[in-house]
Amino acid sequence: MRRPARKADGKTDLKAERDKRAEKDMFEKEIAEKIAGASVLDAEEIRAALEVPKDGRMGDLALPCFKFAGKLRKAPAAIAAELSAALDGLNVIGKKEIVGGYLNLFFDREAVVGKLAELSSWDGVATRGEREGAGKTVCIDYSSVNIAKPFHIGHLSTTVIGGALYRIFGYLGYTVVGINHLGDWGTQFGKLIVAVRSWSTLDEVRGKDEYFLNSLYVRYHKEAETHPEMDDEARAWFKRIEDGDPEANEYFDVFREVTMRAVEKIYKRLKIRFDSYAGESFYNDKMQPCLDILREKGLLTESDGAQVVRLDDYDMPPCLLVKADGATLYATRDIAAAYYRKQTYDFYKCLYVVAYQQNLHFKQLFKVLELMDFAGAKDMEHIAFGMVSLEDGAMSTRGGRVVWLAEVLDKAVEKAYNIVNEKNPDLADKDKIAESVGVGAVVFSALWNNRIKDIVFSFDKVLNFDGETAPYVQYTHARCVSALRKGGAYNIAEADWSAVASNEGYEVAKCLLSFEDVVRTAARLREPCHVTRYTVELAEKFNRFYIGHRIVVEDKGVMNARLFLTDCVEKTLRVALRLVGIDAPDCM
């Protein structure tokens, strides 16, 4: 298997790798089947052998025939000549060359551009997605905010990565279940009750926001440093929540109401949706059956009064499920959640979009489920991503060292508004466009790199709209809409494809034809960055075409072809941006 192209710094060059794969995939099935039909070779082995030459002068595709010499008992050059003849009449091939044992293939440019018109319909790009997911359900656990804590910049990655995967899998025909596994259980709620009773009232909290709750939480931890007895009181209040005490649960319900009211505003701005808000507390009555299974299988053992599953044979520390005081943990509830999700959704895959700091937790969880003979154990994946830190160190909610996401979004929108107002003061709906551009820039910045990469948050970087950014792609989309508006209706049947067969037009067409493969790759690798980078690549290629070739001209055949290509770019950019949760404004 070929390794992905790597840059000098050792990091994967996703664009170079995507370019090669997309060009290879564009017509490889058609070529492989044509060759297989005229030889004893199998179409799949031919597809596997096809490669993209490093030097474009050697062709768009190359078939090294050395691999078939043993099977066909002929010299590679003779095999290349024989297989070349099998491709006679295939209109996507413009030229063939035999160089040594290689069969080099050059695509016919007009055929490549014309291939776009053969697709089902560019009026509904989303319908072109292969329905590979039909009949399969994918559960995606993402965002999973904590009750009584505001949305900070550290929550952005899990939220937008999960949201993008939700839409990408949906595009490919999967039934997708978005799950917000709320952090709504733990001693911290006892601490917050103590804080409210000490420095506020429940009525005041009802009328305040999540930031007020957080300020009480921060104050509690400062006070508890010199008054440790507060922790005993907090534990007692949380025990009352566990026991169903009405007064304690009234506090808890208010905390949840205030938090959800706030986070829903953020989710709306980020275009995030969920199908389930079943959080940790939802599984309180579902853990015991799982513990019973563990006991029946002899997996649960006692350790200093606690109940654990020993994982020494798998080079992992024990998985703690029940503390000595009888309290359960994250792992206990995650086991119960896995059983519930399998029973409820019968998932094909269950993905957990959680930071890599939880790598050990998920390795333990998946191993314990496997030992339990859980039916979905092999279908669960931890989709890890890098951590977000500040330029002066790690974030800490209880220490008050955080950057609130709402603040980031507001600043980005304000900057976008100022730019739009300066460049196009008479533009209608400036507020709406600024929201689309500003929020889009923040989301795009979080989805640009491989998800595993750590991020050092900087307002300057996030608010930089120049270069490979969402505003650049959005502006290109608006440029397409403007050209289409000026050109009016077009007729594909009367298009002169030679008008878009130039170097620039050919590159745009190839990029458009690779879109489906990009989406499938993003889903397979669980990497939305393939889609964001694709949008920039398509925008760059279209802008080179746009600058070098007038769209609206007197020659109807030429204009029909160029308007069609522009329309394809507009619709593809719109769909691609939608997959990553970003608007595509018609004007900017």
* pLDDT tens sequence across 286-329: 999 999 999 999 999 999 999 999 999 999 999 999 999 888 89
Single-letter amino acid, residue 469? T
Q: Write down the pLDDT at residue 3.
A: 32
- Work out the average pLDDT over 255-260: 93
The pLDDT of residue 503 is above 80 = yes
Instruction: State mean pLDDT over 492-505.
Output: 92
CA atoms of 297 and 310, how far apart (whole Å)? 13
Q: Is the pLDDT of residue 467 over 50?
A: yes
The reported pLDDT for the residue numbered 475 is 94
Contact 383, 138 (CB under 8 A): no
Mean pLDDT across 247-267: 94
**Annotation: CATH topology of 137-390:** Rossmann fold (3.40.50)
Element (H, E) at 139: strand 137-141
Q: How many residues does the chain have?
A: 588
pLDDT exceeds cutoff 60 at 11: no
Choice among 370-384, 386-400, 529-543, 572-586 with the minimum mean pLDDT? 386-400
pLDDT grade for 54, boundaries at 50, 70 and 90? confident
Strand order in the sheet with 319-322: 300-303, 306-309, 319-322
Supply the pLDDT for residue 156: 93
Mean pLDDT, residues 139-143: 98
CA nearest 280: which of 313, 252, 316, 311? Answer: 252
Residue 132, pLDDT score? 86
Confidence of residue 131 (pLDDT cuts 50, 70, 90): confident
Contact by Cβ (8 Å): 156, 455: no
| H-helix segments, 38-173 | 43-49, 69-72, 76-86, 109-118, 156-171
Range of 27-36, 49-58, 328-337 with top mean pLDDT? 328-337
Average pLDDT over residues 469-478: 94
Q: Are 157 and 455 in contact (CB under 8 A)?
A: yes
552, 559 contact by CB (below 8 A): yes
Dihedral sign, CA of 356, 256, 233, 321?
Answer: negative
pLDDT value for 56: 78
**Residue ranges per structural domain of the chain:** 14-107, 137-390, 405-579
Fold that domain 14-107 belongs to in CATH:
Gyrase A; domain 2 (3.30.1360)
Is residue 21 very low, low, confident or very high in pLDDT (cuts 50, 70, 90)? very low
- Hey, CA dihedral for 212, 215, 219, 221, is it positive or negative? positive
Report whether 252 contacts 234 (CB < 8 A): no
State yes or no: pLDDT of 9 exceeds 50: no
Name the H helices within 200-301: 202-207, 210-224, 229-242, 246-270, 287-296
pLDDT band (50, 70, 90) for residue 398: low
Element (H, E) at 516: helix 515-525
What is residue 149's predicted lDDT score, i.e. its pLDDT?
83
Which phi and psi (to 5°) does residue 171 adopt?
A: -60, -35
User: Mean of the per-residue pLDDT values for the chain?
Assistant: 89
Confidence of residue 121 (pLDDT cuts 50, 70, 90): low
Would you list the DSSP string of 326-350? S-B-HHHHHHHHHHHHHHHH--SEE
Instruction: Give which of 383, 407, 395, 456 is closest to 165, Cα–Cα.
Output: 383
Most confidently modeled range among 79-88, 209-218, 333-342: 333-342
CA–CA distance, 546 with 482 (Å, rounded to integer): 12
Nearest partner of 532 among 450, 409, 415, judged by Cα? 450
pLDDT at 401 over 80: no
- Whole-model pTM? 0.88
pLDDT of residue 225: 93
CB 36 within 8 A of CB 63: no
Alpha helices in 346-469, H assignment, sequence order: 359-371, 405-423, 430-447, 459-462
What are 77-120's pLDDT values in tens digits? 999 999 999 999 898 899 999 998 999 999 988 888 877 877 64
What does residue 427 show for φ and ψ, rounded to 5 degrees? -65, 135
Among the CATH numbers 3.10.290.20, 3.40.50.261, 2.160.10.10, 1.10.730.10, which is that of 405-579? Answer: 1.10.730.10
- Which bin fits 304, alpha (ψ -120 to 50), beta or left (φ > 0)? left
- As a whole number, mean pLDDT of residues 476-490 equals 96
Specify the pLDDT at position 393: 54
Examine domains 137-390 and 405-579 and report if their fold is the same: no
Q: Report d(CA 417, CA 58) in Å as an integer.
A: 49
Q: Say which range, 25-34, 326-335, 366-375, has the weakest mean pLDDT.
A: 25-34
Token reading at 112: 């490549």
Average pLDDT over residues 142-159: 90
**Could you give the CA distance from residue 404 to residue 407 in angstroms, rounded to a whole number?**
5
> For residue 277, is pLDDT > 70?
yes
Enter the tokens of residue 224: 């508890």
Q: What's the number of CA atoms in the CB half-sphere (13 Å) around residue 110?
A: 8
Instruction: Provide the 10 A C-beta neighbour count for residue 432.
Output: 11
> Could you tell me the pLDDT band of residue 197, with boundaries at 50, 70 and 90?
very high
User: Averaged over 165-190, what is the pLDDT?
Assistant: 95
